[in-house]
Amino acid sequence: MHWLPLTVIGLVIARLLAQLGLEALNRAEVRRRAGALPPALTGVMDEATFAKAGDYTLAKSRFGSGEMIYEAVVLAVVIFSGLLPWLWARFDALAPGAAWSGALFLVATMILLGLPNLPLAWWAQFRLEARFGFNQSTLRLWITDQVKSTLLGLAIGFPLAWALLALVGWVGQWWWVWGFVLLFGFQLLMLVLYPKLILPLFNKLTPLPEGEARTRLLALSDRTGFRASAIEVMDGSKRSGHSNAFFTGFGRFRRIVLFDTLMTQLAQDELEAVLAHEIGHYRRGHIPQRLVTMALMQLGAFAAIAWLAQAAWFNTAFGLPAGTIAPTFLLFGLLGSLVTFWFSPVGNWVSRKHEYEADAFARAAMGGPAPLSGALRKLSQKNLSNLTPHPLYSAVYYSHPTLVERERALQR
């Protein structure tokens, strides 16, 4: 066998073993602490809620472990069964060498490869989440979401893939630089268009009505130097009992979006603190930093794709023709996570650092740690968060510090 497929098999097995090992460590840690509420969490949740949060964590972990095994098997079948060469032959025959047939191959293949995950997604929503009282969706809504997502994938993905592949013929060997410019520019445009065009297809957004909440949030926005074009409430409760808040866009297109579940769970000062935390990401420059990091990673990815497409050993190792960009794009997308998984702790470490900085900003904006601490405690309780993860597990997977870590930092 060619050395590259053997390497891919080794990477699939190595990642799977690491993932399963981390899940086992975390489950053991949850069980070890299941006997009594740790002193550091006194006042956060009662014993019954702490036990339920542990059960929720264990259920998600067991399901996640099965999902990882399933996805590893599906990936191996897709890569080594000859399915990809068969699909490429069918789509390329429509217009050999044309950018549009290659784009259709990419988009249609990614949609087809998403089908095996639908039963797992259904189970997670209507069995696991429903068991713990989080699911608010209906089967009809869930199916509608899947259809909409597929149609959006075609409507957006096909023209974008066609433009990227057409660049190869238009600008020659430096196509990957212009491809990066095209994709990154498109993503910046979507920061503005997403809340106006895409998000309303799935959720209803309504302006925050006049009243104390709107007055206080706008006052907070003004005194922290964060001018938003709108504050909107999203009907997240029609799908899930989980809550969140975020802002989208940039410049004068910034919008603050609050889940309706968040509005009912938090007091006024706690809601302000959550918004102050989100504003803290903006005021501390986290958004530009993340955009620059994303841009550099994408530029590196485009350079790698251009190099691999010209390498005689890459596409051919999986039964696909050498020198064709579309199959290289697909293989890179399918196999890239086998490598990037090992670097995820670095990205999450940076993310946790940003969370601490945003928390500190919220503490200053609110005149003390109490409002944010109260909000974090309520959200941890309502979302049945795992408050005692294994340190190695949280280092690899957690983009946010644990509640105990955040409160400790807030008190410093």
d(CA 321, CA 84): 11
Residue with tokens 């990091």: 293
Which among 229, 214, 224 is positioned nearest to 279, based on CA atoms? 224
Q: Which of 23, 272, 359, 407 is labelled catalytic?
A: 359
Per-residue 3-state assignment (H helix, E strand, C coil) for the chain: CCHHHHHHHHHHHHHHHHHHHHHHHHHHHHHHCCCCCCHHHCCCCCHHHHHHHHHHHHHHHHHHHHHHHHHHHHHHHHHHCCHHHHHHHHHHCCCCCCHHHHHHHHHHHHHHHHHHHHHHHHHHHHHHHHHCCCECCCHHHHHHHHHHHHHHHHHHHHHHHHHHHHHHHHHHHHHHHHHHHHHHHHHHHHHHHHHHHHHHHCCCEEECCCCHHHHHHHHHHHHCCCCCCEEEEECHHHCECCCCEEEECCHHHCEEEEEHHHHHHCCHHHHHHHHHHHHHHHHCCHHHHHHHHHHHHHHHHHHHHHHHHHCCCCHHHHCCCCCCHHHHHHHHHHHCHHHHHHHHHHHHHHHHHHHHHHHHHHHHHHCCCHHHHHHHHHHHHHCCCCCCCCHHHHHHHCCCCCHHHHHHHHHC
Q: Which of 278, 355, 357, 407 is labelled catalytic?
A: 278
Is 359 catalytic? The answer is yes
CB 237 within 8 A of CB 138: no
Is 278 catalytic? The answer is yes
Contacts of 110 (CB under 8 A, 6+ apart): 153, 157, 330, 333
For the annotated catalytic residues, the residue numbers are: 278, 359
